[in-house]
A and B are shown apart, each in its own frame.
Chain A
Amino acid sequence: MQALTILLDGISYGMVLFIISVGLTVTMGLMRVVNLAHGAFAMIGGYIATVLVLQAGVPFLLSALIAAVVAGALGGLAELTVYRPLYRKGELPQVLLTIGLCFVVIAGLTLFVGATPLPAIVPASLDRMVDIGFRSYPAYRLFLIVVGAVLAFIVWLIVERSLFGARLRAAVDDPQMARAVGMNVNRMFTVTFIGGCALAGFGGAIGAGVLPLEPFYALRYLVYFLIVVAVGGMGSFRGSLVAALAIGIVDTAGRYIVPQFGGFLLYVLVFGLLLWRPNGLLPPKSVA
C-alpha cells in the first residue's frame, strides 16, 4: 500500500515535469537550440495565474488557461525576435542569450510581483484529502495525474496522428530534407514553440503546488527540465513522458526509502543511464 502511495506521488510529480518539459524537448530536438529560458515561460505562466486568482478572483483552471495563452504568445514573440537569429549561431551564444533571458524574466517578475515566494493558488476543492480506498490522499495530486494524462494524450494525438505531427516528426528527424520537399520549417518552428511555451505556462500554473513559484523558479527547476529532455531523448515526445514519469517516481521513491541518499539517487541513475544510452531512452531517428 505504501508502494502505491509513493507511485501516485511520483506520477503526479512526473506529470508536472512532463507538461513543462515537453515544449523544451521540441526546442532542443527540432530547432537545436539550447534553450535555458524554457523555465522562464513556465514561471511567467505561474505568476500570471497566481496574480489572476489572487487579485482578480479568476477561477483556478481559467486563470491557468489564460496563463497558457499569454505564455504561448510571449513565446511566439520571443521566437520571432530573439530565438530566430540564434538558430544559426553556435551553442555558446545560445546558452548566453537564453540564460540572460532567464535573468531578465526573474528581475522583471521580482520587480512587479515581489521577492517573496508566491501563495499557493490551489483551490479549496482540490486542497483536501479524498478517500481512494486504502487511504486518504491529496485530491490535488490526483488532479495533476488526470490533467497530465489528458495533456499527454492530446500531445500524442497531435504528434503521432495529425498531418502537422507527421511533418513535425519529419522535420525533427531531418530538417534539411523537410525543407527540400517544400515544408515551411520556419513556420513550424514558430507554431511548436508557441505550443511548447503555452504548455510550460500551463504546467507552471497548475503545478505550483508541487514546484512552488518564487523569483528563482526559472533556474531552480531548470536542471529537472533538462534531465527530462536528456533522458527522454531530444525531440522525442514519448521519451519525455517516460522520462518525466520515471524521474518523478525514482526521485520520490529514493527520498522515501533512503532519505539520506535521496538527493543523489536520481543523479546517479541519470548518470548511469546516459552512459548506457547517451542519446536518451527513446531518441528520434535523426540522432539514434
Chain B
Amino acid sequence: MKRRLIASAAAALITLSTAAYADVVKFGIIAPFSGPFAVWGKQFKDSVEAFQKLNGKSVNGHEIQIIWRDEGAGDASKSRQFAEELILREKVNVLGGFALTPDALAVSEVISESKTPTIILNAATSIVTRKSPYFLRVSMTVAQYVSPLGGWAVQNGIKSIYTMVSDYAPGIDAQDEFLSGFEKAGGKVLGKDRVPLNVTDFAPYMERALQSKADGLFIFAPAGAPSVAMVREFERRGLKAAGMKLLGTGEMQEIFLPSFGDSILGAISSTHYTESNQRPENIAFRKALTEVAGKDAVPDMASIAVWDALGLVYETVKALGPKFTGDQAIDFMKSKTINSPRGPISWDPKERDIIQNVYIREVKKVDGKLINVDLATYEKVRDPWKDNHPDAK
C-alpha cells in the first residue's frame, strides 16, 4: 500500500512536471531488426536519426519519441502482438512500420478498434490500405512503380520480352502489371518464368531466357540475396553480351549496385525514388544521413519511407498539437502534399494510398560510382490496381 502511494505520488509528480513543460508524442515503429530482413530496420533507424538531427526531436516543445519493436524474421503474429502492446501499454499516438504485407494485414483489426493512425513504411501489396480506414501508405505499391515500365520499354526499342519473377504474390503482380503495359504498347511476350523463392542458382532460368532471344528480360525478385544472384547470373551467362536489356525495379537500388560490379551498367529499372537525384530536399536528406550513418551510407526505399512518415507526424503535431484522434490525424495526413526527397507526394483521399512520381532509370558510372540516372519521369502515378479493382476488399 505504502509503496503504491509513493509510486503514484512519483508518477503524479512526473506527469505534473512534464505537463507543465510539454507533451510527448509517441510514434511506435514495428520493423525487422534481426533476421533476413534486418537491413530494413537498420535503414529505418539511420533515416530517423538523420531526420531528427535535421529537424530536432520536438515540435513546438512537444517531444517526438520513437519506440522501436523488432518483429524479427517477418513474423506476422509478432507484428500484431507488438501493435497491441504499443497501443495499450505504451499508448502510442501513431503506429508505423511493416516490411512485409502480412505484417501490415495482421494489425488491421487492432488499429481499427483503437483508431490508431498507422503509417505503412513498406508492405507493397495494393489491397492493404483497404483493410483499415486508419492505414496510410508512404511507401509504394508494386503495381504502381512497375506500371509505366512496359510502355516505356516498347517505345524505346524493346519489342520482345522474357519475364522472370519470383513465385510469390508481389512477383506475379509485377509480372502482370508489366505485361499489361507492354502488350498494350504492342510488345511481344516470348516467355514467362516463375522462379520458386528458395532458388539460389539461376543458371537454368537464364539459359532459357537466353535461348528465347528476346530484346529484354524483365525480372522481379525480393530485394537482397535472390535479386543479387539473379542479376549476377544475367551478366555471367552472357545475356548482356547477346544484346538483351535487363529491366527491373527495386533490384537496381543504389544500395545494391556495389554487389554487382560494373557489369550492371546499362540496366533499366523503374521505382519511385532515384537516390542520386539533385532536388534540394534530397541533397539535405543525404547530407544528414551521411552525418549520422557514415559517408558510405546510401538511402533506399526504406529510408525514404520513414523520412516522409516522420515528416507527416511532425506536420500533424504542428497543426493539431500533441493530442489528436485517429480520424483527425488520418484526415490531416491524407490531405497533405509533401516535397519529399523523392519528388512531390500526395495521397488519394479515398484510398489513403500514395500518389507519386515513378522514374525510369539506367545504371551509369558517375565519378567512379555506380548510380541510377533518370531517363524518364511519370508524374503523379496512382496505384493502378485500385483503379482496376474499385470494389475489391
Contacts and interface: CB of A to CB of B under 8 A. Distances in A.
A254 to B, nearest CB: 8
B237 interface: yes
B186 interface: no
Given A117-B225, A117-B259, A119-B260, A252 B201 contact: yes
A6 B36 CA distance: 31
B205 A255 contact: yes
A96 interface: no
Contacts of A2: 207, 211
Interface residues of B, number: 38
Contacts of B211: 2
B66 interface: no
A9 B238 contact: no
B236 to A, nearest CB: 5
Contacts of A254: 204
A136 interface: yes
Interface in A215-229: 215-216, 220-221
Contact of B39 (A5, A115, A263): A115
B287 interface: no
B42 interface: yes
B236 A220 contact: no
A138 B237 contact: yes
A119 B39 contact: no
Contacts of B237: 138
Contacts of B199: 255, 262-263
Contacts of A116: 39, 224, 255-256, 259
B263 A117 contact: no
B185 interface: no
B8 interface: no
B204 A253 contact: yes
A110 to B, nearest CB: 6
Contacts of A138: 236-238
Interface residues on A, range: 35 or more
B17 interface: no
Interface in B232-270: 232, 235-238, 241, 255-256, 258-261, 263
Contacts of A114: 39
Contacts of B365: none
A9 B202 CA distance: 10
Contact of B260 (A120, A129, A251, A253): A120
A212 B205 contact: no
A215 B38 CA distance: 9
A221 B232 CA distance: 18
B203 A259 contact: no
A6 B235 CA distance: 18
B198 interface: yes
B358 to A, nearest CB: 24
Interface core residue of B229, B255, B258 (most chain A CB under 10 Å): B229
Given A115-B38, A116-B259, A262 B204 contact: yes
B207 A262 contact: no
B195 interface: yes
A175 interface: no
Interface in A1-40: 2, 5-6, 9, 13
17 contacts: A9-B204, A107-B34, A116-B39, A116-B224, A117-B256, A119-B258, A120-B260, A136-B238, A140-B236, A209-B232, A212-B228, A212-B232, A221-B200, A252-B203, A259-B205, A260-B194, A262-B199
Given A214-B228, A259-B195, 11 more contacts: A13-B201, A110-B38, A114-B39, A117-B224, A117-B259, A120-B259, A127-B261, A129-B241, A216-B36, A221-B200, A253-B204
